[in-house]
Amino acid sequence: METEAGRKLSLTGLLVGFIAGLPQLFFPILAVLYGAGNSDRGLLLMPVLIFGLLAASLLFRWISWMRFAYYVGHEDIRIESGLLNRSARSIPYERIQDVGIEQKPLARLFGLSEVKLETGSGSGDEAKLSYVTMIEAERLRALVRAHKSGVIVVPSPANAAAETERDDAAPPIFAMNIARVLTLGFYSFSLVILAILGGLAQQFDFLLSFDLYDIDAWRDSAKNNGYVIDAVSRCARIFAGVAALFGLIVIGFATGIIRTFLREYGFRLDVSPRGFRRRRGLLTLTDVVMPIHRVQAATIYTGPIRKRRGWHGLKFISLAGDSDKAQKGDSNHIVAPLANLAEIERILTAAKIDPAGPDVIFLRGRPAWWLVQLMAAGLVIIAGIIALIVAADAGWKAMLLLALLPLALGSAFLQWRFSLYAVDGDNLLVCGGWWQQRMTIAPQIKIQTAEISQGPVARFFGLCKIHFGIAGGTLSISALCISEARLIAAQVIEQVAALDYSKISAPKI
C-alpha cells in the first residue's frame, strides 16, 4: 500500500514533553533529597543525582521520539513506536470518527498542538500525536476529511488554513460570551480544591514536625499562646462555625467560576455539512469535530436553581468519545453548557433530532418501585437505631439516624416525580433526576437493542426495567409492568426493523 514518507513529531515537542513530565519526577527527586541529606557527602552528591535523573528522563524521551513515526496512506494512518517491543497500528479512515486538536498552555507557547484520532471502539483515543505544529495538525484534519469524502488529493497546509478561516468567518450556531461563562461558573459550585489540599496533607504530613490531626496538640498550642479554647463563649463558637461555613461557600463558588472560566472561555459551536465543530478553552485550547450522522441521542440537562432562570445544557451521545473530558471512554459531547431552550432547539434541529413539543404526553412508572427502595432504606436505618440502643450508645446518634427517615421518604418521592418517559412519534424520551434533571431524546431508528430485566424483588411485584442500547450509551426506563415493557419494546423494535440499513449510504463529510 502506497504511503507518504514517515513523519517525525516536532523536535520542539520533545522539550515540551520533558517539561510537562517534570511533576512525575517529583517523588524520585524528593527521595534523593531525603536520602542524600543525612550526610555531608550526600549533600555534595545531591546536585549530581538530580541532574542524572533529569538527564535520564530526557534521554528516554529522545529515544522514544527517535523510534516514533507516523505514515499517511490512501486507506489508513499507520503509527509505529516502541524501542524493544515495536508496535504498528493501522487506523482506516472509515473508522476515524473524530479528529481532535488540543493545545495545552506549554504547547501553545511553542506553537504546538496534540492531535487525537478517535474511533467508535469505546477505548478512548486510538492514536495520539504529541506534539506537532498547528499547520501539520490542520493538514492532518483536512486530510482525514478528504479521504472520508472520497477525495484522493492530499490538501496542502495553505488549503487547510483557508478552510479554517472560512469556518471562522461563518457565524456560529451557538457561542458563549464572558458574561455567560461567568454565569455558568456561578452554577458550577465545587469544593474540589479542598479535596486536593486534603489529599496533599495526607501524602506529605510526614514532612511536618507536628501531627496535623492531633486536636490536643492544637489546644495546648493555643493555651501556650494565651488562648483557652474551652473558655471560648458559645456565641464565639457559633460565629466561628458560621464564618467557616461562609468561607467554604466562598471557596466553592470561586473554584467553580475559575475552573469554568478556564475550560469554557471562548466557547464556540459551528455547524457545516461536515458536522459540528466545538472550540473552547483559555489556557488549554481544544478543537473537536463531530460528524452529524454520528449523533445517536441528545440529553438536555438542568437543575432546580438554573431552571428558574431558563438555563439548560445540551450534550450529544455519539460514537466518538469526548477527547477533553477527564473520564476515559465517556461518549458525551457537551455542545451547549448554558443555553436557553430556543438555542437548544436550534442545535437539535441541526443534529436532525426533533425537539420535544409541548403536546408530548409523559408517563410515570409504578410507585411500588420506589416504595420498595424506601422500605429497604427504612429497614437499614431502623436496624442501625436498634444496634445503637443495644450498645447503650443511642443519644444523638439514634436521633440523627431517625431524621434520615423523612429524608429517605422525600428522596423516593422526588425520584418518582421526576422519572418520566414518552414514546412520541419517531423519538423515545426519558427523564430522570430531581437535582440534576435530564431529558434524553433518542430517535428510535438509532436504537439497536431492547432488553427487559427483572430482579427478584421486582419480579415479586410484577415490575421490570427496560434497557435500550444505542451506540455510545444506554437508555433505561424503570418501574414498568412486564406487559407495558413488552409493548414499548415491540413498538420501538418494529419501527427499527422496518428500515433497511444496508441501503443507506454513509454521508460524506
Please spell the DSSP secondary structure of 243-296, one letter per residue.
HHHHHHHHHHHHHHHHHHHHHHTT-EEEEETTEEEEEE-SSSEEEEEE-GGGEE
Residues 485, 421: Cα–Cα separation, whole Å: 12
In SS3 terms, 125-161 reads as: EEEEEEEEEHHHHHHHHHHHHHHHCCCCCCCCHHHHH
Pair 492, 444: CB distance under 8 Å:
yes
Cα separation, 91 vs 320, whole angstroms: 14
99 forms bridges with which residues in the sheet?
Answer: 117
Where does the pLDDT of residue 425 fall: very low under 50, low under 70, confident under 90, or very high at 90 and above? Answer: confident
Cβ count within 10 A of residue 56: 12
Q: Which of 229-238, 431-440, 449-458, 460-469 has the lowest mean pLDDT?
A: 229-238
Please report, to the nearest 10 degrees, the dihedral formed by the alpha carbons of residues 193, 194, 197, 199 taken in order: -110
Looking up cell 455547524 gives 271
In tens, the pLDDT along 13-44 reads 989 988 988 888 877 777 776 666 566 666 67
Q: In what order do the strands lie in the sheet with 463-470?
A: 447-453, 463-470, 473-481
The answer to whether 353 and 427 are in contact (CB under 8 A) is yes
229-272: per-residue pLDDT in tens? 555 556 766 777 788 888 888 888 999 999 999 999 999 999 98
This prediction's pTM? 0.80
Distance CA 248, CA 193 (A): 11
Quick one: pLDDT at residue 170? 79
What confidence tens digit (pLDDT) does each residue in 74-112 have? 888 899 888 778 888 888 888 887 788 899 989 988 999
User: What is the distance between the alpha carbons of residues 287 and 99, in angstroms, rounded to a whole number?
Assistant: 9
Tell me how far apart the alpha carbons of residues 259 and 246 are, in angstroms, rounded to a whole number.
20
Domain boundaries, given as residue ranges, for the chain:
11-169, 186-263, 363-503
The larger pLDDT score, comparing residue 239 to residue 295, is at 295
CA 205 to chain centre: 31
Q: What number of other Cβ atoms are within 10 A of residue 2's Cβ?
A: 6
pLDDT of residue 112: 93
CATH code of 363-503, in short, is 2.30.29.30
Mean pLDDT value across residues 406-422: 90
**What does R_g of the chain's alpha carbons equal in angstroms?**
29
Q: How far apart are CA 197 and CA 195, in angstroms?
A: 6
Name the grid cell of 100.
Answer: 481532535
